[in-house]
């Protein structure tokens, strides 16, 4: 059974370092999440993200893909920044002009999951 997200069930989430991100600190190249608790953390962060106003100027750190039981997928850019207490940024690739602010608490949880 998948994790509910909108009207679909999530069966896995993949995270890949974005090719344009040139930070030397990134040890992650690719990571797959299939356990329910970690997928739920990602989904909650996406659902809790708040719509941002204005134009975006960002560099994606990660390509995030959510895979659904019906074999479809959703694609995002994810940036968590270097600050340990900062907010993250989520951009749905179906509309790259609109960004969503990931709350500090959710950003912290995502950083911890990615680094472990």
Residue 28 sits in a domain whose CATH number is: 2.60.40.4400
Q: Which domain holds residue 111?
A: 3-115
Q: Rg of the chain's alpha carbons, rounded to an integer?
A: 13
pLDDT at 112 over 70: yes
pLDDT at residue number 23: 55
| pLDDT tens-place string over residues 53-111 | 988 888 899 999 999 999 999 999 999 987 677 899 999 999 999 999 999 999 999 99
> 15-54 burial, b if ≥16 CB within 10 A, otherwise e?
bebbeeeeeeeeeeeeeebeeeebbebbbbbbeebeeeee
Please count the structural domains in the chain: 1
């Amino acid at each position: 059974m998948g994790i509910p997200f909108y009207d679909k069930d999530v069966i896995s989430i993949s995270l890949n370092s974005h090719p344009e991100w040139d930070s030397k600190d990134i040890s992650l190249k690719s990571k797959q999440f299939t356990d329910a608790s970690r997928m739920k953390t990602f989904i909650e962060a996406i659902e809790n993200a708040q719509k941002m106003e204005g134009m975006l100027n960002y560099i994606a750190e990660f390509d995030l893909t959510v895979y659904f039981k019906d074999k479809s997928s959703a694609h995002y850019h994810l940036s968590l920044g270097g600050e340990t207490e900062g907010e993250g940024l989520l951009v749905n690739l179906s509309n790259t002009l609109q960004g969503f602010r990931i709350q500090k608490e959710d950003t912290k949880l995502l950083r911890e999951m990615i680094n472990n």
